[in-house]
């Protein structure tokens, strides 16, 4: 506790200067009204411009109020040369510089007050379109080898001539078609919109839209909302080349590519030039030749490896093992065939013997019966009788004569004896 004028004060209530400035800085950063401030006033304390950054003050000539200002990398941001006492319109954020405890405005954009209204309208439209995502939408790729390139520009300007010369040099087979349009003034936007409508209808591969440099008023048509939206909705890839390198219009932001000059636009429209193609062909040809040589060398090595193999020098070794196997199989086949033949012969002989035995057994009863029948037949056989001295007499017709009455004197007869036959003649009847 500390006594001050009879009043005791808590020491913890005191803060350092650093803590206070940090607190104020945080307040500045969080305040939405200080995040983006549109300011108008006169330039003062401009100082030298040898560095990349610009430091000066902006004062209110009527109220005598002054605020410090800074613009980093101002050369790429400003389209004019700032001068002491010049009235300007600026856009930026208020920031507290903690080491000095002072505040200043960090500028993003600044224009002379004479075009302040236009600039403010442009900034507001830019913010609106940015929130819609027109500037961050995916860009369409530029065709590598276009056949037809449309150029929307003034027919009297140098843009189309520069584009045509560059395309002729880089890619002679590509056709450049001029779609003439008014590029500044009241009739510029309708004229540009009309030609953009023709681009998708006529089937171009790429379109270049642009004009030469000029004041912000001269380029204002390319900040028109309808034109910007039409460029964003275009189906054909588009390259914008509006004004000089330091000029930036909304059409530049929505185009697929932005070129600083017509020549650069033509180069972007022909990503692959005739020389690129020729170099690529030569490169591929060299690579092809090298690959061919390597392939031939590889095949030669493979062929040499095959030729040097022992089997190629003594090809009979390739089938020698198979020949031995064939011989072995042939020998085994003959042996098997011989064994089979011997077995068949043995089985045939055994079958013959069994058949002979069975034949004898089957025929024996019949043979015995036949012999008995033959013996019985022999007992009654005429031959048996003839062997006893009897004779069989037959007439000339071969009929057996059974009685003397069947014969007549002089009639020839045949006499059958046991040992043969004789012919006789009947002399006559004999009576005892």
Three-class DSSP labels, the chain:
CEEECCEEECHHHCCCHHHHHHHHHHHHHHCHHHHCEEEEEEEECCCCCCCCCEEEEEECCCCCCEEEEEECCHHHCCCCCCCCCCEEEEEEEEEEECCCCEEEEEEEEEEEHHHHHHHHHHHHHHHHHHHHCCCCCCCCCCCCCCCEEEEEECCCCCHHHHHHHHHHHHCCCCEEEEEECCCCCCCHHHHHHHHHHHHHHHCCCEEEEEECCCCCCCCHHHHCHHHHHHHHHCCCCEEEEECCCCCCCHHHHHCCEECCCHHHHHHHHCCCCHHHHHHHHHHHHHHHHHHHHHHHHHHHHHHHHHHHCHHHHCCHHHHHHHHHHHHHHHHHHHHHHHHHHHHHHHHHHHHHHHHHHHHHHHHHHHHHHHHHHHHHHHHCCHHHHHCCCCCEEECCCCCECCCHHHCCCCCEEEEEECCEEEEEECCCCCCC
Distance of alpha carbon 153 from alpha carbon 199, whole angstroms: 13
Quick check: 426 and 407 in contact, CB under 8 A? yes
* pLDDT value at residue 404: 80
The crossing angle, in degrees rounded to 10, of helices 116-132 and 225-233 is 30
Given this model, what pLDDT does residue 182 score? 92
Taking the model in full, what pTM does it have? 0.47
Nearest to 192 by CA among 181, 206, 184: 181
Which region holds residue 36: left if phi is over 0, alpha if psi is between -120 and 50, else beta? beta
Pair of tokens at residue 387: 């062997």
pLDDT (0 to 100) of residue 65: 86
pLDDT for the residue numbered 190: 94
| pLDDT, averaged in runs of 10, over the chain (432 residues) | 53 76 79 85 79 87 82 81 82 85 87 65 84 91 92 88 91 92 90 92 92 78 92 93 79 92 91 83 89 91 82 71 82 88 87 82 83 79 73 86 82 85 84 66
Rg of the chain (C-alpha set): 68
Task: Tell how strand 87-97 and strand 37-44 pair up.
Answer: antiparallel
- Cα–chain center distance at 136: 31
Per-residue pLDDT at 328: 86
How many other C-beta atoms can be found within 10 angstroms of the C-beta atom of residue 231? 24
Residue 7: predicted pLDDT: 55
- For 104, the token pair is 């200043």
Question: Count of CB atoms within 10 A of residue 314's CB?
Answer: 10
In angstroms, the CA 320 to CA 311 distance is 11
Structure tokens at 165: 């010369």
87 strand-pairing partners: 42
Q: Residue 402: its pLDDT value, please?
A: 82
Q: What is the phi-psi region of residue 51: left when phi exceeds 0, alpha when psi lies from -120 to 50, beta otherwise?
A: beta
Q: Please report the pLDDT score of residue 257 as a whole number.
A: 92
Which pLDDT value is given to residue 118? 63
Q: Distance between CA atoms of 241 and 55, rounded to whole angstroms?
A: 32
Question: What confidence score (pLDDT) does residue 306 get?
Answer: 81
For tokens 């914008």, the residue is 240
The encoded tokens of residue 370 equal: 């036949």
């Amino acid at each position: 506790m500390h006594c001050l004028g009879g009043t005791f004060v808590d020491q913890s209530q005191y803060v350092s200067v650093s803590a206070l400035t940090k607190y104020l800085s945080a307040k500045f950063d969080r305040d939405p009204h200080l995040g983006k401030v549109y300011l108008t006033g006169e330039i003062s304390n401009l100082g030298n411009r040898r560095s990349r950054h610009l430091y000066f003050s902006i004062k209110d000539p009527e109220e005598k109020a002054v605020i410090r200002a800074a613009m980093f990398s101002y050369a790429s941001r400003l389209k004019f040369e700032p001068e002491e006492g010049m009235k300007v319109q600026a856009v930026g954020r208020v920031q507290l510089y903690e080491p000095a405890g002072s505040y200043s405005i960090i500028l993003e954009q600044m224009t002379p007050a004479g075009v302040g209204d236009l600039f403010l309208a442009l900034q507001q439209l830019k913010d609106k379109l940015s929130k819609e995502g027109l500037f961050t939408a995916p860009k369409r790729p530029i065709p590598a080898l276009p056949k037809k390139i449309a150029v929307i520009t003034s027919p009297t300007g140098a843009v189309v001539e520069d584009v045509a010369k560059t395309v002729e040099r880089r890619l002679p087979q590509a056709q450049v078609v001029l779609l003439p349009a008014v590029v500044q003034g009241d009739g510029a936007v309708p004229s540009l919109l009309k030609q953009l409508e023709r681009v998708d209808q006529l089937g171009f591969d790429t379109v270049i839209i642009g004009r030469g440099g000029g004041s912000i008023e001269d380029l204002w048509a390319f900040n028109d909302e309808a034109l910007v939206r039409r460029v964003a909705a275009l189906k054909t890839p588009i390259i914008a080349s509006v004004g000089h390198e330091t000029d930036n219009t909304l059409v530049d932001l929505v185009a697929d590519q932005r070129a600083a000059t017509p020549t650069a636009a033509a180069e972007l429209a022909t990503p692959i030039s005739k020389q690129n193609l020729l170099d690529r062909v030569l490169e591929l040809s060299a690579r092809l030749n090298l690959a061919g040589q390597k392939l031939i060398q590889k095949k030669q090595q493979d062929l040499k490896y095959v030729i040097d193999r022992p089997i190629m020098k003594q090809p009979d070794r390739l089938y020698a093992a198979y020949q031995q196997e064939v011989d072995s199989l042939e020998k085994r086949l003959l042996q098997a065939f011989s064994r089979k033949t011997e077995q068949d012969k043995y089985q045939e002989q055994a079958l013959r013997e069994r058949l002979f035995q069975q034949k004898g057994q089957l025929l024996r009863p019949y043979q015995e019966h036949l012999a008995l029948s033959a013996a019985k037949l022999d007992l009654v056989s005429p031959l048996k009788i003839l062997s006893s001295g009897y004779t069989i007499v037959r007439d000339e017709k071969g009929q057996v004569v059974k009685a003397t009455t069947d014969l007549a004197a002089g009639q020839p007869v045949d006499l059958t004896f046991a040992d043969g036959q004789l012919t006789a003649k009947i002399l006559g009847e004999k009576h005892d």
